[in-house]
């Protein structure tokens, strides 16, 4: 392990000579400017060939001309084929020709991740999050760099496994870039730098809202109706959003972006405790699995700072995704890209150009860091943001006040220990006051 690690680092160091001028934090178009002429290539592996995985693979290829997509894995063969042909046919310059995944390197099933990780230098982990700790731990064990989509886990045991692997990844000098993509968006970085620089004064409260119309309709042609699935496991896997063991519920899977903004504003200092409400008011039928359709959580931080979070999945209602940070001297409107109060500021790009797409930025910075032998590793921060969402869910499910330490120590394992095509977990819809914290 040590030897292969040092070989990789030497190889990356050599390659870095062509890219040394590229700053990992810059918004430079890496695809156009960096790595031109370098002969070595990095083998990219993709685990989870759905919407985000296909996007991430394209971004990885665009980020660095030395990258080639080398292996793909998914629970379902049809997902690999659809992703492969979409990437092969990508209109983005140079992407299709660097998709080098013959059928012998397309792996199907619950163990596909092992073969993909064994084959590649850098793995993109983009399955539903229930599997993330398992896949990430294996990648770290094998000494592979990883792009890891959010969230990092769906339960306490999974998050602890992720954190353990995150620590090991640092010791091994691996690059781990996470999918909390707003941290890679130039306007938001500037806004947060101003907040952290004191332009709104000390923070008093943070309000984050993620009210959306929800995701796909389950038991429907779009993701396969129950009648067409061969097993309960196939049905749940194809409709993964509705099962907490796979998605973590929508506060963990989706609204966690707002909670990541809260964590970022608070410099990743954890809250002490949280409490809240949640339930199923609209999506009440059994086909909606066991998740809630709304949450409202209050987070209590040191120095009496409060974080307020609300999210819901209600069709035909007013959507709203917004974040505000209130300080003693002003207010930051995060999506509005502006600060008002003692200081008034609005984001303007210095060159007038629109800011680089945040998803592309993640990959540009990851590969620039690798080429420069300065691997970015922000896995532990991603675990903090994930735990904010997990503790909020635990508070709403149980009706209890949940402390940070209690959430981190939770023994409730939602994800089964083994996976097979047959039956699947039958987890009940939680009822506050009846469902107990464990």
Ligand X SMILES: NC(=O)c1ccc[n+]([C@@H]2O[C@H](COP(=O)([O-])OP(=O)(O)OC[C@H]3O[C@@H](n4cnc5c(N)ncnc54)[C@H](O)[C@@H]3O)[C@@H](O)[C@H]2O)c1
Task: Tell me the sheet residues that pair with 306.
Answer: 205, 300
C-alpha–C-alpha distance, residues 172 and 279, integer Å? 42
Among 127, 137, 244, 410, the residue binding ligand X under the rule CB under 6 A is 127
Half-sphere exposure of 63 (CA within 13 A, CB side): 32
* Tokens (6 digits) for 399: 């009706």
145 to 174: interface string for ligand X, x by CB under 6 A: ----xx------------------------
Q: Shortest gap between Cβ of 128 and ligand X (angstroms)?
A: 5
Among 27, 67, 115, 126, the residue binding ligand X under the rule CB under 6 A is 126
Q: Shortest gap between Cβ of 53 and ligand X (angstroms)?
A: 5
79 touches ligand X (CB under 6 A): yes
Q: Shortest gap between Cβ of 169 and ligand X (angstroms)?
A: 19
Distance of CA 214 to the CA centre of its chain: 18
CB 53 within 8 A of CB 59: no
Stretch that binds ligand X, among 73-81, 205-213, 296-304, 386-394 (CB under 6 A): 73-81
Among 76, 314, 335, 437, the residue binding ligand X under the rule CB under 6 A is 76
Among 30, 61, 112, 159, the residue binding ligand X under the rule CB under 6 A is 112
The backbone torsions φ and ψ at residue 432, rounded to the nearest 5 degrees and listed phi first, read -55, 135
212 touches ligand X (CB under 6 A): no
- The stretches of 227-324 forming alpha helices (DSSP H) are 232-238, 244-247, 250-253, 256-265
Q: Shortest gap between Cβ of 309 and ligand X (angstroms)?
A: 17
* Tokens (6 digits) for 394: 């635990």
C-alpha–C-alpha distance, residues 29 and 15, integer Å? 18
Nearest-CA neighbor of 39 among 10, 15, 7, 63? Answer: 15
Q: In the 3-class helix/strand/coil scheme, how is 16-69 assigned residue by residue?
A: HCCCCCCCCCCCCCHHHHCCCCCCCCEEEEEECCCHHHHHHHHHHHHHCCCEEE
Task: Tell me the sheet residues that pair with 340.
Answer: 331
Q: Where are the beta strands (DSSP E) in 213-319?
A: 273-279, 294-300, 306-313
36 to 65: interface string for ligand X, x by CB under 6 A: -----------xxxxxxx------------
Task: Tell me the three state secondary structure of residue 309.
Answer: strand
Q: Shortest gap between Cβ of 186 and ligand X (angstroms)?
A: 16
139 touches ligand X (CB under 6 A): no
DSSP tally for the chain: helices H, then strands E: 15, 15
259 touches ligand X (CB under 6 A): no
Nearer to ligand X by Cβ, of 34 and 69: the residue is 69
For β-strands 106-108 and 176-178, DSSP reports them as: unpaired
74 touches ligand X (CB under 6 A): yes
Nearest-CA neighbor of 372 among 3, 8, 13, 86? Answer: 13
73 touches ligand X (CB under 6 A): yes
Among 110, 314, 335, 347, the residue binding ligand X under the rule CB under 6 A is 110
Among 35, 70, 113, 264, the residue binding ligand X under the rule CB under 6 A is 113
Cα dihedral across residues 398, 400, 405, 411: positive or negative = negative
129 touches ligand X (CB under 6 A): yes
* Count of residues interacting with ligand X (CB under 6 A): 26
Nearer to ligand X by Cβ, of 275 and 367: the residue is 367
Nearer to ligand X by Cβ, of 233 and 274: the residue is 233
Distance of CA 407 to the CA centre of its chain: 20
Q: Shortest gap between Cβ of 75 and ligand X (angstroms)?
A: 4
Stretch that binds ligand X, among 71-79, 191-199, 313-321, 402-410 (CB under 6 A): 71-79
253 touches ligand X (CB under 6 A): yes
Q: Shortest gap between Cβ of 10 and ligand X (angstroms)?
A: 32
416 touches ligand X (CB under 6 A): no
CB 99 within 8 A of CB 69: yes
335 touches ligand X (CB under 6 A): no
* Tokens (6 digits) for 7: 């070989």
Buried b (16+ CB within 10 A) or exposed e, 86-103: bbeebeeeebbebbebee
Q: Shortest gap between Cβ of 172 and ligand X (angstroms)?
A: 23
258 touches ligand X (CB under 6 A): no
Nearer to ligand X by Cβ, of 222 and 344: the residue is 222
Using Cβ positions, the residue closest to ligand X within the complex turns out to be 50
236 touches ligand X (CB under 6 A): no
CB 355 within 8 A of CB 187: yes
Contact residues: ligand X, CB under 6 A: 47-53, 73-76, 79, 110, 112-113, 126-129, 131, 149-150, 179, 181, 237, 253
């Amino acid at each position: 392990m040590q030897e292969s690690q040092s070989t990789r680092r030497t190889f990356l160091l050599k390659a870095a000579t062509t890219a040394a001028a590229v700053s990992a934090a810059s918004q430079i178009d890496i695809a156009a400017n960096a790595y031109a002429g370098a002969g070595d290539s990095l083998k990219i592996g993709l685990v989870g060939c759905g919407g985000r995985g296909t996007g991430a693979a394209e971004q990885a290829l665009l980020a660095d001309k030395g990258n080639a997509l080398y292996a793909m894995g998914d629970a379902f063969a049809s997902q690999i084929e659809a992703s492969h042909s979409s990437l092969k046919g990508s209109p983005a310059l140079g992407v299709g020709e660097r998709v080098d995944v013959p059928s012998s390197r397309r792996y199907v099933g619950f163990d596909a991740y092992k073969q993909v990780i064994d084959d590649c230098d850098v793995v993109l982990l983009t399955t539903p999050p229930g599997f993330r700790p398992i896949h990430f731990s294996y990648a770290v064990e094998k000494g592979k760099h990883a792009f890891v989509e959010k969230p990092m886990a769906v339960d306490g045991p999974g998050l602890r496994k992720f954190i353990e692997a995150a620590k090991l990844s640092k010791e091994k000098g691996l690059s781990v870039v996470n999918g909390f993509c707003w941290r890679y968006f130039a306007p938001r970085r500037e806004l947060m730098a101003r907040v952290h620089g004191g332009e709104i004064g000390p923070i008093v409260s943070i309000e984050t809202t993620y009210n959306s119309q929800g995701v796909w309709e389950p038991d429907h042609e779009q993701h396969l109706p129950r009648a067409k699935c061969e097993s309960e496991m196939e049905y749940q896997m194809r409709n993964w959003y509705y099962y907490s063991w796979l998605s973590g519920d929508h506060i963990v899977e989706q609204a966690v972006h707002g909670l990541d903004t809260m964590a970022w504003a608070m410099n990743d200092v954890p809250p002490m405790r949280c409490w809240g409400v949640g339930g199923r008011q609209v999506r009440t039928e059994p086909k909606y699995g066991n998740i809630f359709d709304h949450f409202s959580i209050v987070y209590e931080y040191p120095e009496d700072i409060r974080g307020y979070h609300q999210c819901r999945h209600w069709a035909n209602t007013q959507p709203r995704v917004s974040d505000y940070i209130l300080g003693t001297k002003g207010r930051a409107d995060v999506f509005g890209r502006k600060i008002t109060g003692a200081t008034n500021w609005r984001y303007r790009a210095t060159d007038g150009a629109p800011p680089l797409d945040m998803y592309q930025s993640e990959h540009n910075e990851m590969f620039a860091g690798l080429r420069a032998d300065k691997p970015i590793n922000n896995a532990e921060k991603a675990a903090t943001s994930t735990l904010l969402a997990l503790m909020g869910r635990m508070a709403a499910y149980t009706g209890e006040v949940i402390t940070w330490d209690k959430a981190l120590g939770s023994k409730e394992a939602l994800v089964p220990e083994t996976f097979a095509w047959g039956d699947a977990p039958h987890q009940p819809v939680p009822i506050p006051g009846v469902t107990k914290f464990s």
